[in-house]
């Protein structure tokens, strides 16, 4: 079997909560034991409510946050313990696109300077930089004449194109896109999604695409992982997941997507209560207090992810 491009094993990220001066009181279990593998060239969508740990997973994989536990393997190589210098070299292959490009593009730099930064950091020679920058600005649908402008002179969609160009500068293999279209108007969202798909073909990219929006995830993903309170509850081929969600949480999420076809009758399942706090998660299955199908066992025993109908599900119903 081919080695997956990326493998994540038992990944945990706990944030320590500080109380008073030195006393630490407990932790926020933002990511609480996640296993994933991503194949070369595919798009793995990660979906779940706000606060369930999606961004933390993305950042911990790139080691922008230090994992508390677990392993990250890139092309079979364990990158979890690489030192800062080795990790910088590795970042050539692993890049991130963020939700809000305004917050991550330096307003004092021109687009040309922004795109040059990763090249300089990776010691790409000056004479190679110009053609690379000019090629990349065009592949994201902007033009060379935009290079000497500043970020504030662009629209939100154009700024996200610049954010994508920056991520592409070193021709990475894997891009983790964290809510890349969530800040954009719906009409612009599909343009950016189409751009990401075109770039995937052109450069053979692999994506982890993070979003709270199932519609967006459905559009772009090959497989989808559904997260709830720091864990994956269902991981499946996209078409299977949308045809027949198995986990009660996935069923709830899917029931809330508006459908265009008025004949397609479906019942919207309403969830009881709010997302519990990851600093004090419920015992047993973390979803049990809100689950419409909760049984006694769910309150005490954590359901493992297991293979059911060709996908992975963490639920005592199966
Ligand atoms: N730097 C941090 N320090 C403490 N808690 C954090 C930090 N970053 C995220 N969290 C907490 O971790 C949980 C998951 O956050 P996040 O990964 O941002 O979720 P999502 O991206 O799914 O909205 C949330 O409860 C959030 O408040
Ligand atoms: Mg997030």
Local confidence pLDDT in tens for the 318 residues of the chain: 578 999 999 999 999 876 666 555 688 999 999 999 999 999 999 999 999 999 999 999 999 999 999 999 999 999 999 998 999 899 999 999 999 888 889 999 999 999 999 999 999 999 999 999 999 999 999 999 999 999 999 999 999 999 999 999 999 999 999 999 999 999 999 999 999 999 999 999 999 999 999 999 999 999 999 999 999 999 999 999 999 999 999 999 998 776 656 565 566 777 777 888 888 899 999 999 999 999 999 999 999 999 999 999 999 999
Q: Read off the tokens for 210.
A: 């993070």
User: What is the best residue among 34, 46, 51, 286 to mutate for testing ligand 1's pocket, by most ligand atoms within 8 Å of CB?
Assistant: 51
Residue 24: per-residue pLDDT? 58
Kindly give, in sequence order, each residue whose CB lies less than 8 Å from that of residue 177, ignoring residues fewer than 6 positions away. 96, 97, 196, 207, 208, 209, 210
Q: What is the CATH number of the domain that holds 226?
A: 3.40.50.300
User: What is the best residue among 56, 66, 230 to mutate for testing ligand 1's pocket, by most ligand atoms within 8 Å of CB?
Assistant: 56
Residue 132 lies in a domain: no
Residue 224 lies in a domain: yes
Residue 17: per-residue pLDDT? 77
Residue 193 lies in a domain: no
The range of the structural domain enclosing residue 296 comes to 6-39+49-81+209-258+266-313
Residue 270: per-residue pLDDT? 75
Q: Which ligand has the minimum distance to the alpha carbon of residue 46?
A: 1
Q: Which ligand has the minimum distance to the alpha carbon of residue 228?
A: 1
Residue 83: per-residue pLDDT? 92
Dist. CA 51 → ligand 1 center (Å): 6
Residue 201 lies in a domain: no
Q: Which ligand has the minimum distance to the alpha carbon of residue 16?
A: 1
Residue of minimum CA distance from atom 11 in ligand 1: 30
Atom of ligand 1 nearest to the CA of 230: 14
Residue 111 lies in a domain: no
Beta strands (DSSP E) in the chain are 6-18, 24-38, 43-47, 69-74, 77-78, 94-97, 174-178, 206-211, 223-228, 231-237, 306-308, 311-313
Residue 147 lies in a domain: no
Dist. CA 265 → ligand 1 center (Å): 36
Number of domains making up the chain: 1
Residue reference for tokens 């709270």: 212
Residue 138 lies in a domain: no
Sheet containing 6-18: give its strands across.
Answer: 24-38, 6-18, 69-74, 77-78
Residue of minimum CA distance from atom 12 in ligand 1: 30
Residue 230: per-residue pLDDT? 96
Q: What are the pocket residues of ligand 1 if the criterion is a CB atom closer than 6 Å to any ligand atom?
A: 15, 28, 30, 48, 50-56, 278
Residue 256: per-residue pLDDT? 77
Residue 101: per-residue pLDDT? 80
What are the φ and ψ backbone dihedral angles of 226, each rounded to 5 degrees?
-100, 125
Instruction: For the chain, state the CA radius of gyration.
Output: 21
Residue of minimum CA distance from atom 16 in ligand 1: 53
Dist. CA 206 → ligand 2 center (Å): 20
Residue 218 lies in a domain: yes
Residue 32: per-residue pLDDT? 95
Q: Which ligand has the minimum distance to the alpha carbon of residue 50?
A: 1
């Amino acid at each position: 079997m081919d080695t997956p491009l990326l493998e994540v094993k038992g990944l945990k990220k706990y944030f320590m909560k500080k109380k008073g001066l030195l006393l630490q009181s407990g932790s926020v279990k933002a990511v609480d034991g996640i296993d994933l593998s991503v194949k070369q060239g595919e798009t793995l969508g990660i979906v779940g409510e706000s606060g369930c740990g999606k961004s933390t997973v993305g950042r911990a994989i790139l080691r922008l946050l230090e994992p508390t536990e677990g392993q990250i393997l890139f092309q079979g190589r364990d990158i979890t313990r690489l030192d800062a210098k080795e990790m910088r070299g590795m970042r050539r292959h692993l890049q991130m696109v963020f939700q809000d490009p305004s917050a991550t593009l330096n307003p004092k730099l021109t687009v040309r300077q922004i795109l040059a930064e990763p090249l300089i950091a990776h010691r790409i020679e000056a004479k190679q930089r110009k053609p690379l920058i000019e090629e990349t600005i065009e592949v994201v649908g902007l033009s060379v004449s935009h290079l000497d402008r500043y970020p504030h002179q662009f629209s939100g969609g154009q700024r996200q194109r610049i954010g994508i160009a920056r991520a592409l500068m070193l021709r990475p293999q894997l891009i983790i896109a964290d809510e890349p279209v969530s800040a954009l108007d719906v009409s612009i969202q599909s343009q950016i999604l189409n751009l990401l798909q075109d770039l995937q073909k052109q450069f053979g990219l692999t994506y982890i695409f993070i979003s709270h929006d199932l519609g967006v995830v459905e559009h772009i993903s090959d497989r989808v992982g559904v997260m709830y309170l720091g864990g994956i509850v269902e991981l499946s081929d996209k078409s299977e997941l949308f045809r027949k969600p198995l986990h009660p949480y996935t069923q709830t999420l899917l029931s809330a997507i508006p459908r265009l076809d008025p004949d397609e009758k479906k019942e919207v399942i309403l969830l009881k209560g709010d997302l519990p706090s990851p600093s004090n998660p419920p015992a047993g299955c973390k979803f049990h207090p809100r689950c419409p199908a909760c049984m006694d066992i769910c309150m005490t025993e954590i359901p493992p992810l297991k293979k059911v109908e060709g996908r992975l599900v963490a639920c005592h119903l199966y």
